[in-house]
Amino acid sequence: MNQRERFREALLFGKPDKFPLSPGGPRESTLAKWHQQGLPKDRSYYGYLMEILGIEPEPTSRQVALGVSFRMIPTFEEKVLEHRNGHYIVQDWMGAITEISDAFDYTYIRSARDFVTRKWHKFPVESRADWKEMKKRYDSNTPGRFPDDFEERCQALKERDYVVSVGFNGPFWQLREWLGLPNLCMMMIEVPDFIHEMITFWTEFISQTLAPILKHVELDNVRISEDMAYKAHSMISPTMVREFLVPTYERWIPEIKQSGCPIISMDSDGCIEELIPIWIEVGMNCCGPVEVAAGNDIIEYRRRFGKKMAYTGGIDKRALAKGGTIMREEILRVVPPLLEEGGCIPGCDHGVPSDISWPHFVEYTRLLAELTGWL
């Protein structure tokens, strides 16, 4: 099987020749530690890892990116407004006023390059006048949203042997970027019509931007990002999810499925237990990263929801950091039971933190490779 076929078979409860090997990716601080622990600075961590394990790289055709942007155009000017007490106060490209330690470049505010603590002081939409101006930045036909050679790229993707996914923010995530979480939650109660108006706008923008892609390319996966759960519960109640978010999903998901894309996945940190049934109802069939520290139990979810939901991630990063027997027990707790039925790509349950050493990461990936059929 090629990469694309294997990805689909793994997440659709098929019979892949082996499951995709996806141990997880490090952030900058993790890589810095690994460079001190045996990873050469001039080598990619994954390529060197495969070399250590003796796994030959799989050839694929030349990869082509779609190059379509779901971001605002134009973005706000990024600029430092103040530098005080070891912190930058910044206007970021999304228009928010944010604060970050000067141990980091201010561009880390909106980047997943490392594990960074930030503080938000102000959000770009505080009034209907702000909202009127914000909408101008989300026009599906704005020059630069699609590459000039979009149709040629689509044609090149028709006979590919690799996975092509598209990802964008769901309505909860996007409104949180515009309003901030406290304001969003209060406005859902106090001015729900305004929230519905913003969600309807976002729903339409995504649908219109996605339509040319779905027309010309059969995607393998569409990933919706919401990050809508805390350690123990969803950030809003299931009732509010149904009222505010479900109509959007019910618009997008049929359009995606009708295009031939077989996998629609949800990306959300936190405890997703009370959200999974809703995601299944609206037609999503995959979710991740299933963080164990947030109370998620991927084996229990498989027992309860069966083959209605596939998963990515699910291996406790805290156990990987400890190594040895604890690490092995966690991998054996999760991986073999899931692989027995399929519908999974097991891996670290979020970005790989720096307390997972390079030797432990190699040991973990070796066992994962054995279980998934690579060794």
What count of other Cβ atoms lies within 10 Å of the Cβ of residue 191? Answer: 11
Same domain (yes/no): 355, 320: yes
Same domain (yes/no): 88, 224: no
Tell me the average pLDDT across 22-30: 96
Partners of 166 in the β-ladder? 222
How many structural domains compose the chain?
Answer: 2
> Who's near 190: CB < 8 A, 6+ residues apart?
none
Same domain (yes/no): 173, 24: yes
For residue 266 the two structure tokens come to: 């949800």
Partners of 356 in the β-ladder? none
Same domain (yes/no): 350, 268: yes
Q: Is 340 exposed, middle or buried (0-12, 13-18, 19+ CB in 10 A)?
A: exposed
- 247-263 pLDDT per residue, tens: 999 999 999 999 999 99
Above 80 in pLDDT, residue 240? yes
Residue type, 182: P
Of 123, 139, 161, the domain-final residue: 123
Alpha-carbon distance of 340 to 112, in angstroms, equals 33
Structural domain that includes position 200 = 3-72+127-372
Same domain (yes/no): 81, 68: no
Residue for token pair 């078979």: 9
The DSSP-derived string for 25-83 is -B-HHHHHHHHHTT--TTS-HHHHHHHHHTPPPPP-PPP-------S-SSPPPPEEEEE
Greatest alpha-carbon pair distance for the chain in Å reads 59
Tell me the average pLDDT across 176-199: 98
Classify strands 263-267 and 221-225 as parallel, antiparallel or unpaired.
parallel
User: How many residues are given for the chain?
Assistant: 375
Above 90 in pLDDT, residue 272? yes
The CATH number assigned to the domain holding 35 equals 3.20.20.210
Same domain (yes/no): 44, 68: yes
Tell me the average pLDDT across 150-166: 96
Same domain (yes/no): 101, 137: no
Same domain (yes/no): 65, 95: no
Q: What's 304-361 look like in SS3?
A: HHHHHCEEEEEECHHHHHHCHHHHHHHHHHHHHHHHHHCCEEEEECCCECCCCCHHHH
- 48-68 pLDDT per residue, tens: 999 999 999 888 889 999 999
Alpha-carbon distance of 324 to 371, in angstroms, equals 17
Residue 50 contacts residue 362 (beta carbons within 8 Å): no
Tell me the average pLDDT across 340-366: 97
Classify strands 165-169 and 221-225 as parallel, antiparallel or unpaired.
parallel
Of 88, 123, 158, the domain-final residue: 123
Same domain (yes/no): 143, 203: yes
Alpha-carbon distance of 205 to 135, in angstroms, equals 10
Alpha-carbon distance of 257 to 250, in angstroms, equals 11
Same domain (yes/no): 92, 160: no
Backbone φ, ψ for residue 65 (5° rounding): -90, 145
Alpha-carbon distance of 324 to 335, in angstroms, equals 17
Partners of 168 in the β-ladder? 224
Above 90 in pLDDT, residue 288? yes
Predicted confidence band at 117 (pLDDT cuts at 50, 70, 90)? confident
Of 123, 151, 182, the domain-final residue: 123
Same domain (yes/no): 237, 104: no
For residue 82 the two structure tokens come to: 């103040």
Same domain (yes/no): 34, 61: yes
- 74-115 pLDDT per residue, tens: 999 999 999 999 999 999 999 999 999 998 888 888 887 888
Query: What is the strand order of the sheet 221-225 is part of?
Result: 165-169, 221-225, 263-267, 286-288, 310-315, 344-348
